[in-house]
Structure 1
Amino acid sequence: MPTFRRRGRIERSHTSRSHFKHSDDRLSAELGDPLDYEVEEIAHHRPRNKGIYLLPNAFTTAALFSGFFAIVNAMNHEFAIAAIAIFASLVLDGMDGRIARMTNTQSAFGEQYDSLADMVSFGVAPSLVAYEWVLKDLGKWGWLAAFTYCAGAALRLARFNVNTQVVDKRFFQGLPSPAAGSLLAGFIWLADDNKIPVKDYAIPWVTFLITVYAGLTMVSNAKFYSGKALDVRYRVPFGVMVLMILGFVLISTNPPLTLFGFFVIYSISGYVIWAWEMINPKRFG
């Protein structure tokens, strides 16, 4: 019957459309919606946020102030306070980046501001504090050592800014400027806390060597553990908690000696890792 044949054709046509629709749905489920690819592509090429956020930049400003405060106290011959101010800047500098990531307030402005603040707090401040403390007694050798450190910090920060997508996130390329500044500040604080006469025990030349070593190590290719692989939001081994408690006890007992000792070990660790890679190239290849 004609009516039946037309209805059958309609039903078959409906079945075909339904079949194609389900096939398209399965294909979309397996391969993804093309619109999703377009959205991902747009998100990938989206320019970095250039907004200014108050919370992380407030910590960066506090770190910058601590570095400036260290310079002022060095000019007033309050070297212990100057060294403590550099350590305070170290703590504040470590907090601004973590807070920005936790609150999702990263921005291009914050990155550049943090880099400039680091140059003052861990580049200019430690070199000037060391120069005012004992390096100026060495004449031209003193200010050459201070400039070597300052230039090394500037080069270190510039290289870090352009290599963020190249190097291994687990390691820093070269000694980080906060660690270099803390190494120099720790030695000054330790000597001042123990009332060591500045002109005795060759203190100016020891300071010269530490300053030049820190400046050159910042621009070296040695790998220093970054700590970025350790996520505090997840569980850690029991031994890590024991080490943290032991660290707090040692710092509270003798802060200058403990902090200086820690940064001495850290500043050498990069060359230890480099030597270990040379001995075991297959393991790190």
Structure 2
Amino acid sequence: MTDPHNKSADLDEDEVLEPQRPRRKGIYALPNSITLCALFCGFYAVVMAMHGRFETACIAIFCAAVLDALDGRVARMTNSQSAFGEQMDSLSDMVSFGAAPALIVYMWGLKDLGKAGWIPAFVYIAGAALRLARFNVNIGVVDKRFFQGLPSPAAAALVISLIWLFDDAGYRNASQIDWLAWSAFGVTLFAGLSMVTNAPFYSFKVFGARRSVPFVVLVAVALGIALISLYPQRAIFGLFCLYGLSGYAVYLYKKAKGRPVSVIATSTDEPDERGLHH
């Protein structure tokens, strides 16, 4: 005669020992649809630039940046993060903020410089690829308050806002205007190289999330929005120029104060990654 208590214990033990089914790796529609929309914006920007519609191309890149900021947040809000979504987001960023801006600026202001015009365009696209690869590798060890190097959406915005500013000012065939072509050369080269530096650029990921701010801050934000609406091209270009220089300012400030300048929060033991942690 079996003991009912022992039978119950055996059942409990079987339930504990039963292997759990692995979570199904699905493809979530909402965040990945937003990512695809951002990818389309990058593709559309290139097509518009091929037809000489550079203002429309610039607006499309900025739309891609807005969508890129949304897809990750939507995934976190709906608990639909996935490895597939992360890879899709990186590939979309490479098109919208890597290949597309390089091609647009080349067609707008670099093509008449000959082979010299290839240099900043290729440095930019290579910098974007290296920046995204390094970001994916170091995503778990970088201080969330800072980006390691200029983020690719900001680099794209810096280059694209230059084009938008002068295209709106009436400068056509910019590649045939020497000073404007070389200005595009310098800005594109700066943006490309800044993506692969170790300079810390503030990420704004922990700004104002759960902290109270003085009322004057909201007033300043309202004034800033009003100024941007009055002179959008100038304001956007000026803001991204300041942001593009801010990382170097923080780097020099920390160096002068004797503080560590690396944004790597913890070290890793990977020998191939040692160069990224200095």
TM-score (normalised: structure 2): 0.82
Matched, 1:180 2:155: yes
Once residues 106 and 211 of structure 1 are traced to their aligned partners in structure 2, the CA distance between those partners, rounded to angstroms, is: 33
Aligned pairs, number: 243
Q: Check conservation: 1:49, 1:107, Cα contact below 8 A.
A: no
Whole-angstrom distance in 2 between the partners of 1:237 and 1:98 = 26
Q: Contact conserved, 1:179 with 1:263, CA < 8 A, in 2?
A: yes
Q: If each structure's helix is expressed as a fraction of its own residues, which one has the higher value?
A: 1
Tell me the SS of whatever aligns to 1:105. Answer: coil
3-state secondary structure, aligned to 2:198: coil
The answer for the alignment partner of 1:113 in structure 2 is 88
CA distance in 2, matches of 1:229, 1:168: 11
Return the match for 1:133 from 90, 96, 108.
108
Indicate the residue corresponding to 2:179 in structure 1: 202
Tell me how far 1:284 sits from its aligned partner. Answer: 7.2
Of 230-239 and 265-274, the range deviating more from structure 2? 230-239
Q: CA deviation at 1:240?
A: 3.2
CA gap 1:47/1:75 in 2 versus in 1, 3 angstroms: farther
Structure 2 match to 1:25: none
One of 115, 122, 138 as aligned partner of 1:147: 122
Segments of structure 1 that go 5 or more residues without pairing to the other structure are 1-37
Q: In the aligned structure 1, how far is the partner of 2:210 from the partner of 2:259?
A: 33
Map Cα deviations across residues 108-157 of structure 1 (whole Å, 9 max, x no partner): 11111000000000000000000011100111011121011000000000
* Structure 1 match to 2:275: none
The residue that corresponds to 2:246 in the other structure is 269
Indicate the residue corresponding to 1:103 in structure 2: 78
Q: Which residue of 2 aligns with 1:73?
A: 48
% identity of equivalent residues:
56
Contact 2:38–2:92 (CA under 8 A) maintained in structure 1: yes
**Structure 2: distance between partners of 1:90 and 1:177:** 10
Pairwise CA RMSD of aligned residues? 2.3
Gaps of 5+ in 2: 1-15, 263-278
State the shift of 1:278 in Å.
0.7
Amino acid at match of 2:156: G
Aligned to 2:8: none
Q: For residues 63 and 279 of structure 1, what CA distance do their matches in structure 2 show?
A: 40
* Paired letter, 1:132: M
Aligned to 2:268: none
Larger Rg: 1
Provide the rounded CA distance (Å) in 1 between the counterparts of 2:208 and 2:87: 24
Residue type at the aligned position of 1:245: A
Q: Which letter maps to 1:225?
A: Y
What does 1:83-98 correspond to in 2, within 5 Å? 83-98=58-73
Give the counterpart letter for 1:217 in structure 2. S
